[in-house]
Structure 1
Amino acid sequence: MAQVSDTLKVKEERAIVMNDSIFNDVEYEPLAPARAAFYSAVLPGLGQAYNKKYWKIPIIYAGMATGVYFYKKQNDDYHRFRDAYKRRLAGYTDDEFQGISNDRLINAQKSAQKNKSVSIIVTLAFYLLNVIDANVDAHLRQYEVREDLSLQPNLEVNPFNSQAQYGMSLTYRFK
């Protein structure tokens, strides 16, 4: 009768395990920038709240409120100048701008109208910057930036012509 022996062989393998620093611990979400921009378009500042950048919300509202404030102020001034000019054309001389000529009142109306337009542009610019900031911030939030990556300015003097040469150096330190 044949004898069967049961033997177990163990093979030992050694490997070096390194943390992969290329990939984030947080899962990549491709729709996060679009979602943040949509939130900011619907309600200014909501995209910044979604990105957890709460400190930007008062800046957005302050910029937009400033534009609205100056629009209202210029609109009121425009109507004051316009009403005074209309009263003068009707023959009245009891307006609040008695020392100002009709030409100056016309120029003041034009200036107030122009400033109203600038105020609208400022308000819209803050609104658009709010949407763009939320989108860009959501994009950048998905990139991992560690301390072992640095960008430093570099200044060297060319030994042949003694002129300064400027540059940037990108340094990555391996652990």
Structure 2
Amino acid sequence: MNKIFYIAILFFLFGYQAVFSQEIGQAIKAKDTLKSKEIDPLRPTKAAFYSAIVPGLGQAYNKKYWKIPIVYGAIGTSLYFYISNNKKYHSYRDAYKLRLLGLPDEYDYLDNSRLIAAQRFYQRNRDLSLLVSVGFYILNIVDANVDAHLIQFNVSDKLSFQPAVYQNEIDYKPNLGLTFNYKF
């Protein structure tokens, strides 16, 4: 009876230890495993599409709300200058046409060469403002696309790239260098 009691105790202890060690192994395994985010390969395409439809919508899709006023400010300012230069261009052009017909115009203090120069000046500025508007619109789309790509980029604390100043062991002068560290 004594032998059976000791065998039961040994069996209980070894069985408990096996169960306990298995739980610890699972806990260690769960602790070491990194939770990886699912990568949505269509996210950059969606962001670019949304920005193409409505400027700033791709930035909202990427949850970069602070960029939306910048987008509207840039596109709105360039469109304002386009409209202003277009009005002035048409004003000088209409005045020149009226002068050619022999009718009075609002710019009677300017001669014909000055009216033509003003026309060309505002036409060039109008066209440049339109180019800048289109450029900001395209930049809005590219920004949404690139930002969506970079959201999926894994940036962890294990990877670092930083400048370092270290002392040279031969002449003890300070040296500047870059260190690339990766912690496993």
TM-score range, shorter chain: 0.7 to 0.9
Partner of 2:32: 19
Between the aligned partners of 2:139 and 2:67, the Cα distance in structure 1 is 11
Partner of 1:98: 108
The size of the alignment, in residue pairs, is 162
Partner of 1:3: none
Higher relative contact order (CA 8 A, sep 6+): 1
Between the aligned partners of 2:117 and 2:110, the Cα distance in structure 1 is 11
CA deviations 1:86-143 (Å, max 9, x no partner) are 1221223x43323322111101111111111111111111111111111111111012
Partner of 1:4: none
**Are 1:135 and 2:148 matched, yes or no?**
no
Between the aligned partners of 1:19 and 1:133, the Cα distance in structure 2 is 36
Between the aligned partners of 1:89 and 1:79, the Cα distance in structure 2 is 15
Between the aligned partners of 1:170 and 1:40, the Cα distance in structure 2 is 36
Secondary structure of 1:28's aligned partner: coil
Partner of 1:48: 59
Normalising to structure 1: TM-score of the pair?
0.76
Change (3 A) 1:29 1:107: same
Normalising to structure 2: TM-score of the pair?
0.73
Between the aligned partners of 2:82 and 2:179, the Cα distance in structure 1 is 47
**Unaligned segments of structure 2, at least 5 residues:** 1-10, 169-174
Change (3 A) 1:102 1:42: same
Task: Choose between structure 1 and 2: higher helix proportion.
Answer: 2
Letter in structure 2 aligned against 1:135? N
Partner of 2:80: 69
Between the aligned partners of 2:128 and 2:178, the Cα distance in structure 1 is 39
CA RMSD of aligned residues (A): 3.0
Change (3 A) 1:154 1:84: farther
**Unaligned segments of structure 1, at least 5 residues:** 1-6, 159-164
Larger radius of gyration: 2
Between the aligned partners of 2:107 and 2:177, the Cα distance in structure 1 is 61
